[in-house]
């Protein structure tokens, strides 16, 4: 029942709004100002009542939270700012229209008044000292002939009240300072209006003013009649009745009603437009509220290329990055747990076996060697994870300095020489040019160690040598240092090639460690156990230095890793 009553009330408000608009349009073609005022009042009342109903409904449903939400919402603030910006424009335009209209009406009235003053003054008869009143004067006009001393000699009105009011008005004029100063120098300070039929000169005294009398408002003008050099022999005061103030008051009321209607209409339309504009933002908000860390697959996919569309697209890209980051985190956690579980299991089995049975010195030594190898594998895994965290936390943890890349390569090869010798792999180095780059020496050595060690590992048992070369390349006006590491290993198949830099990734499809086989292999070759992080760390270090790593490989034809690093141009010059 309440819902139907509310709908009926809002319908009546809209009906009143429509009636008000119709009255405004109808009053434009008529002189009935009351219709215009009534239409404007209906519009204002209808808008206020409709807004009050919306406000009351919101307060009833949400109590005090509705007001705080309404006042703090962007939609309301946009509407208020819109109204605040429009209000001074309306006030300025109203003031401009009012003053221009007032000036035009007064100017037209003064023109008619001056013409009538000249007409009356020219009828002055110098012999009789009178003017011709006749029957041409209406109740809308007042004509007075004054003596030089200011006494009323002729008056065109008969009503006693008007005579008293005009007598008081004449006394005010005669006693005024401006009149006395002008009358003394009428020929020099007055404006010439011509002459009478008998040659008397007529001068306007610039005494135009408004006067409210019993029957209405009048506009008066004063002229002096001068014969020869004797000064003014008479003064003519004429007045025309005017409705100027009535029309100006009406115009002012119409302007304020129009301004109020326009302000409310603009506020309502601004509130509606703001709601439509912010509707996609509300959709983004609802989508963000529904998304959790375990459910990041949702996307907004809003159409349009405006600012809101760009915001939605940016939000979708952010969700995609977050989803990929959470997926990498889950994969990383799973792989790290797997990598740590195996050595811990081996250690636990060896220790349990040692505690449960008596071991010979040879068996005890073998058990301790196994435990030591697994502990070293775990330590290397932890160090690699710390290196990844260091490079991915940003450049603030990296100490940059100018270094010779050729010297870094030689230091790395010197460090890996025992490993290559033990593995029976020859590392060949092409002539190294002097190329200066800005980087962290320790991280650059770690990068090269990981890549060259990986090449030695996969060359062992498959080939005889690993080749390292350094050259300068130019791409798009940028000079680069390219380090090539070429091995003679079994190569990488095309299906595994895009994944070689992923953490814990191995070309073995099972991606599992085989402890017995790997332990035997490493004991024979002297190579450290791999944990699947070496190439990931190398790529992360290269990207930290503004570079990258590319790989080319085919099955049974070896692999070529190319490390691209930007050259420090200033230092090179």
Angle between helices 74-121 and 64-72 (to 10 degrees): 70
Residues near 97 by Cβ (< 8 Å), separated by ≥ 6?
251, 255
Place of tokens 């991280």: 443
Q: How far, in whole angstroms, is CA 53 from its chain's centroid?
A: 32
pLDDT at 443 over 90: no
CATH class label, 122-242: alpha beta
pLDDT at 509 over 60: no
> What is the arithmetic mean of pLDDT over 122-146?
80
- Classified as helix, coil or strand, 543 is helix
Q: Domain ranges in the chain?
A: 2-102+248-287, 122-242, 293-320, 397-572
Least confidently predicted of 18-32, 98-112, 192-206: 18-32
Would you tell me how many other CB atoms lie within 10 Å of the CB of residue 163?
13
- Classified as helix, coil or strand, 193 is strand
> What is the arithmetic mean of pLDDT over 546-552?
92
> What is the arithmetic mean of pLDDT over 501-509?
67
77's tokens: 């603030």
In DSSP notation, 424-477 reads T-EEEEPPPP--EEEE-HHHHHHHHHHHHHHHHHHHTTT-SEEEEEEEEEEETT
Write out pLDDT tens, residues 400-424: 889 999 999 999 999 889 888 888 8
Helix (H) or strand (E) segment spanning residue 319? helix 307-356
What is the predicted pLDDT for the residue at 396?
Answer: 46
Is the separation of the CB atoms in 148 and 234 below 8 Å? yes
Would you tell me how many other CB atoms lie within 10 Å of the CB of residue 67?
13
In DSSP notation, 17-86 reads HHHHHHHHHHHTTSS-HHHHHHHHHHHHHHHHHHHHHHHHHHHHHHTHHHHHHHHHSHHHHHHHHHHHHH
Residues near 375 by Cβ (< 8 Å), separated by ≥ 6?
343, 347
- Provide the pLDDT confidence category of residue 33 given band limits of 50, 70 and 90: low
pLDDT at 551 over 90: yes
At CB < 8 A and 24+ separation, what contacts does 169-176 make?
169/211, 169/220, 170/144, 170/146, 170/237, 173/207, 173/222, 173/237, 174/146, 174/149, 174/150
CATH for the stretch 397-572:
3.30.565.10
What is the predicted pLDDT for the residue at 79?
Answer: 81
pLDDT at 393 over 70: no
pLDDT at 234 over 70: yes
pLDDT at 531 over 50: yes
pLDDT at 470 over 90: yes
Among 323, 384, 538, 361, residue whose Cα is nearest residue 448: 538
d(CA 365, CA 551): 42
Is the separation of the CB atoms in 468 and 452 below 8 Å? yes
Write out pLDDT tens, residues 278-337: 777 777 777 777 776 566 777 777 776 777 778 778 888 888 888 877 776 776 676 667
Q: Give this prediction's pTM.
A: 0.50
Pairing of the two strands 465-475 and 426-429 = parallel
What is the predicted pLDDT for the residue at 515?
Answer: 39
């Amino acid at each position: 029942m309440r819902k139907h009553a509310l709908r009926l009330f809002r319908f009546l408000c809209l009906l009143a709004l429509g009636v008000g608009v119709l009255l405004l349009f109808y009053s434009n073609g008529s002189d009935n100002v009351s219709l215009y005022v009534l239409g404007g009042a209906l519009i204002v009342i209808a808008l206020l009542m409709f807004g009050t109903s919306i406000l009351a409904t919101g307060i009833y449903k949400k109590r005090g939270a509705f007001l705080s939400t309404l006042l703090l919402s962007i939609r309301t603030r946009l509407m208020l700012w819109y109204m605040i910006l429009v209000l001074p424009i309306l006030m300025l335009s109203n003031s401009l229209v009012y003053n221009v209209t007032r000036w035009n009406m007064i100017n037209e009235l003064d023109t008619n008044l001056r013409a009538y003053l000249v007409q009356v003054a020219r009828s002055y008869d110098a012999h009789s000292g009178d003017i011709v009143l006749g029957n041409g004067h209406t109740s809308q006009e007042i004509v007075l002939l004054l003596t030089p001393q200011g006494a009323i000699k002729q008056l065109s009105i008969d009503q006693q009240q008007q005579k008293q009011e005009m007598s008081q008005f004449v006394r005010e004029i005669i006693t005024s300072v401006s009149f006395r100063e002008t009358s003394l120098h009428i020929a020099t300070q007055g404006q010439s209006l011509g002459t009478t039929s008998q040659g008397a000169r007529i001068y306007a005294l610039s005494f135009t003013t408004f006067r409210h009398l019993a029957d209405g408002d009048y506009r008066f003008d004063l002229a002096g009649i001068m014969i020869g050099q004797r000064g003014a022999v008479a003064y003519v005061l004429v007045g025309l009745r005017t409705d100027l103030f009535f029309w100006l008051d009406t115009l002012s009321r119409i302007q304020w009603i129009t301004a109020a209607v326009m302000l409310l209409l603009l506020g309502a339309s601004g509130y509606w437009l703001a709601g439509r504009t912010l509707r996609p933002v509300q959709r983004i908000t609802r989508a963000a509220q529904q998304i959790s860390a375990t459910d990041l697959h949702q996307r907004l996919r809003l159409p349009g290329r405006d600012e809101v569309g760009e915001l939605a697209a940016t939000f979708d890209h952010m969700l995609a990055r977050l989803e990929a980051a959470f997926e990498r985190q889950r994969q990383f956690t799973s792989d790290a747990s797997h990598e740590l579980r195996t050595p811990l299991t081996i250690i636990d089995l060896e220790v349990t076996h040692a505690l449960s049975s008596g071991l010979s010195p040879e068996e005890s030594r073998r058990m301790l060697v196994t435990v030591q190898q697994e502990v070293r594998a775990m330590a290397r895994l932890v160090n690699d994870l710390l290196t990844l965290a260091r490079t991915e936390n940003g450049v603030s943890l990296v100490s940059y300095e100018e270094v010779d890349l050729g010297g870094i390569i030689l230091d790395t090869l010197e460090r890996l020489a025992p490993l290559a010798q033990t593995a029976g792999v020859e590392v060949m180095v092409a002539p190294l040019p002097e190329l200066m780059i800005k980087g962290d020496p320790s991280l650059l050595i770690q990068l090269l160690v990981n890549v060259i060690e990986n090449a030695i590992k996969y060359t062992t048992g498959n080939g005889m040598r690993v080749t390292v070369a350094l050259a300068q390349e130019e791409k798009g006006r940028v000079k680069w240092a390219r380090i090539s590491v070429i091995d003679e290993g079994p190569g990488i198949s095309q299906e595994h090639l895009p994944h070689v830099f992923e953490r814990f990734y191995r070309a073995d499809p099972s991606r599992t460690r085989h402890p017995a086989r790997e332990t035997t292999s490493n004991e024979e070759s002297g190579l450290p156990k791999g944990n699947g992080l070496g190439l990931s760390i190398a790529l992360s270090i290269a990207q930290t230095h503004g570079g990258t790593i590319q790989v080319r490989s085919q099955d049974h034809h070896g692999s070529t890793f190319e490390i691209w690093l930007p050259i420090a141009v200033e230092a090179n010059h």
